[in-house]
Structure 1
Amino acid sequence: MISTSDLSGWRGGKSGGKMRIVMIAPPWYDVPPLGYGGIESMLAELVVGLSRRGHDITLIGAGKPGTPARFLTTYDAPPSDRIGEAMPEVLHAAMAHRIVSRIDADIVHDHSLAGPLTAGARPVPTVVTCHGEVDGEFGDYYRMIDTMVTMVGISEAQRRLAPHLRWAGVVHNAVETASLPFREHKEDWVLWLGRFNEEKGTHLAIDVARAAGRRILLAGKLTEPMEHAYFEEQIRPRLGPGVEYVGEADATRKRELLSAARCLVFPILWEEPFGMVMIEAMACGTPVVALDRGAVPEVVVDGVTGFVRHHPDELPEAVEAVGTIDPYACRAHVARHFDVEVMTERYERVYRQVITRFPEPAGGTVDLALPAN
């Protein structure tokens, strides 16, 4: 499974201001993803941004190369059908560690779950972006490894859930704003896009659209057993006039849907640490109507780029009010705060400061003085 033929010729010291950065992706999807894959989308954007700045990037992941980075594989094809099983994640981490041990790098940036367990065995620092939950058992896990790595949050909301962890700071996810299609004039239907899970509130999105008298299109990942169970129990009974499931959208179809929709409905029922689809929608000039859970208030400017409400009963009125939102303001907000250049600059700053301070003593806190977005 491991392909290391490209390692020859990539050894040596630093060259000017360039850094030798190893990125470790999760094993589940290609980078960039063909369909669903928020982490993989963000990671692809970061690789592009860092490559533009002249850094040497090696990406370790599954599947086929799709970025400017030197790509080294663990799985020839991503084991997407095994999401939820432990072994693909563990095996991927072990293979990635073997690959990293053969590379002269300045820093490792790990986006996987199990991979950080190997950080203590390497002579260079490791940055870990926490892409999901950081409380409960996940919080216990990160607390066990936070003396070996530098952790970065993807929102202040996420970091507040685990204030005891040694955070370096927060770097919001981002998109290449200019690459997303902008559309000023929208169609009359609303969109829900994500993965079919109760915490994503798909059933609420349907109810909100019906209460607002609007047609809704559902574009979502439906592969895992729990997703199928939720779909059969909560979504299929709601399908019918005005409610259409269009399948899982690939990258092209996703852009078409996001740019054409009257608004994106995002009625999450958990503390979502970020929500890539929100910035993708706004970059297309499409406002977001959402519940104020997790990072939503950090991402959506209420009354400017959409509406943030406290209760589902308030969302139908907000769906009707999106006609007052300026699509240009939505795109400008993303360009200013969530563009790939903003994210790249902030990660670059993290890398340089972590490299300078490595190795740090165990325990205590880390303060890299990252500016607010």
Structure 2
Amino acid sequence: MKRLHIVQVISNFPDAQKLPPTNQGGTEKIVHELTESLVQRGHQVTIFATQGSRTSAKLVPFPMGLRDQGIASYVLRNMPPDVDVIHDHTFTSALGIRKLSIPTVCTMHLPVKQRVKHPVYVSKRAKTVMGNNRGDFVYNGINPSEYEFSTRKSNIMVFMGRILREKGVLHAIEIAEKTNRKLIIAGPIKDQALFRKEIMPRIQNNPNIKFVGPVGGKRKQKLLKYAACLLFPTVWEEPFGLVMIEAMVCGTPVLALNRGAVPEVMAGFPELICRSVPEMIAKVKQGRYPDPAALRSYVIRRFATSLMTSRYLAIYQKAMKK
């Protein structure tokens, strides 16, 4: 394959993370992984991202205070010469909705409907629901060598994600209450009222439940690799669910509700997919989980960064031909 010049563009919302993200930021993590992998394969990559980002590509930092609607204008004003393809990761497809002469591939990291020429979804389910089966899908990928593996597990369950009702945090608390097991809740509070009125009182009444806020780096690794299981009781149309593969690559089982892309991500372990919270409670009580090594090898085979990169390169070529 000839060496391409690829421009990657990520959203610059007020809470956008630097690359690579430290405590949260699933989209930022995926964009960073993809960018580094493309550079390693010899492609020329220019990335528009938050100031202070670290990358092997050529970084063009967004000015402070730039909102999503200003991204397209800023990128077009600062576009390098001889670009083969633009990869738009912004949540509003800021560049994709413009009819540009440069082929523009848009990844829909959130379940939003955008009419763009080359849409890419992060699961087959998202493509069906949000894209009416139009476009492509590419599973998110992670670099397995960045994740520590352990066969030794504690008796502590973990919930890791944004503290929002649709992420199922209240279900995770219910599971801990009904099983009398220990639970650590990790993630940024995105709904203050929910946390204050419904979550905090139940944590204060239960010494088995602990909230630790957003985690990253070694702290995140430690939580994931020693957890008895990760609870993923999502109640919305989950487009992918990155933390599921992060847990499994550490050798930790995931108990997940059958929503959105969960059946695809967990396809290798259907016995861990639950139809209801009572079923999750029963499975926690049983405590029968797959071998940690089998969980890790499944992620390596199906969700490695290298696979994601190869899929995107094929989509870039297709967009350029069109």
Class of the TM-score when normalised by the shorter of the 2 chains: over 0.9
Residue 236 of structure 2 is matched in structure 1 by 270
Residue 102 of structure 2 is matched in structure 1 by 124
1:72 aligns with 2:50: no
Q: Do the aligned partners of 1:191 and 1:261 also contact (CA within 8 Å) in 2? A: yes
C-alpha separation in 1, matches of 2:72 and 2:320? 22
Residue 13 of structure 1 is matched in structure 2 by none
1:45-194 paired onto structure 2 within 5 Å: 45-76=33-64, 88-100=67-79, 102-117=80-95, 120-134=98-112, 139=113, 142-143=114-115, 146=116, 149-164=117-132, 166-167=134-135, 169-194=136-161
Q: 1:295: Cα distance to partner? A: 0.4
Q: Which amino acid aligns with 2:4?
A: M
Q: 1:349: Cα distance to partner? A: 0.7
Please, which of 259, 276, 289 is the counterpart of residue 225 of structure 2? 259
1:196 aligns with 2:175: no
Q: Do the aligned partners of 1:105 and 1:124 also contact (CA within 8 Å) in 2? A: yes
The 3 A distance-change label for structure 1 pair 113 and 98 is: farther
Q: Secondary structure of 2:81's partner?
A: coil
C-alpha separation in 2, matches of 1:88 and 1:303? 41
Where in structure 2 are there 5+ consecutive unaligned residues? none
Q: Which amino acid aligns with 1:41?
A: K
1:18 aligns with 2:3: yes
Q: Do the aligned partners of 1:61 and 1:75 also contact (CA within 8 Å) in 2? A: no
Q: Which amino acid aligns with 2:255?
A: V
C-alpha separation in 2, matches of 1:209 and 1:354? 48
1:280 aligns with 2:258: no
In the superposition, the TM-score normalised over structure 2's length comes to 0.93
Residue 332 of structure 1 is matched in structure 2 by 297
Please, which of 230, 234, 243 is the counterpart of residue 194 of structure 2? 230
Q: Which amino acid aligns with 1:127?
A: V
Q: 1:119: Cα distance to partner? A: 5.4
Residue 307 of structure 1 is matched in structure 2 by 272
Residue 177 of structure 2 is matched in structure 1 by 210
Q: Do the aligned partners of 1:302 and 1:308 also contact (CA within 8 Å) in 2? A: no
The 3 A distance-change label for structure 1 pair 187 and 75 is: farther
Residue 219 of structure 1 is matched in structure 2 by 186
Q: 1:329: Cα distance to partner? A: 0.8
The 3 A distance-change label for structure 1 pair 118 and 265 is: closer
Q: Secondary structure of 2:86's partner?
A: strand
Residue 83 of structure 1 is matched in structure 2 by none
Q: Do the aligned partners of 1:297 and 1:308 also contact (CA within 8 Å) in 2? A: yes
Q: 1:171: Cα distance to partner? A: 0.4
Q: Do the aligned partners of 1:197 and 1:230 also contact (CA within 8 Å) in 2? A: yes
Q: Secondary structure of 2:70's partner?
A: helix
Q: Which amino acid aligns with 1:332?
A: S
Where in structure 1 are there 5+ consecutive unaligned residues? 1-15, 80-86, 358-373
Q: Which amino acid aligns with 1:176?
A: N
Post-superposition Cα deviations, 1:253-281, rounded to whole Å, max 9, x if no partner, equal 11111111111000001010001100100
Post-superposition Cα deviations, 1:301-341, rounded to whole Å, max 9, x if no partner, equal 3647x610111111012223444311011100100000001
Q: 1:49: Cα distance to partner? A: 1.3
Q: Secondary structure of 1:104's partner?
A: coil
C-alpha separation in 2, matches of 1:278 and 1:259? 12
Q: 1:193: Cα distance to partner? A: 0.5
Count residues in correspondence: 317
Post-superposition Cα deviations, 1:131-160, rounded to whole Å, max 9, x if no partner, equal 1113xxxx2xx13xx2xx300110011111
1:31 aligns with 2:31: no
In the superposition, the TM-score normalised over structure 1's length comes to 0.81
Q: 1:94: Cα distance to partner? A: 2.7
C-alpha separation in 2, matches of 1:229 and 1:26? 26
Q: Which amino acid aligns with 1:329?
A: A
Residue 371 of structure 1 is matched in structure 2 by none
Q: 1:33: Cα distance to partner? A: 1.0
How big is the alpha-carbon RMSD for the aligned residues of Structure 1 and Structure 2?
A: 1.8
Q: Do the aligned partners of 1:189 and 1:262 also contact (CA within 8 Å) in 2? A: yes
Q: Secondary structure of 2:255's partner?
A: strand
Q: 1:117: Cα distance to partner? A: 4.5
- Select between 345-354 and 311-320 the one with higher mean Cα deviation: 311-320
Q: Which amino acid aligns with 1:116?
A: A
Percent identity reads 33
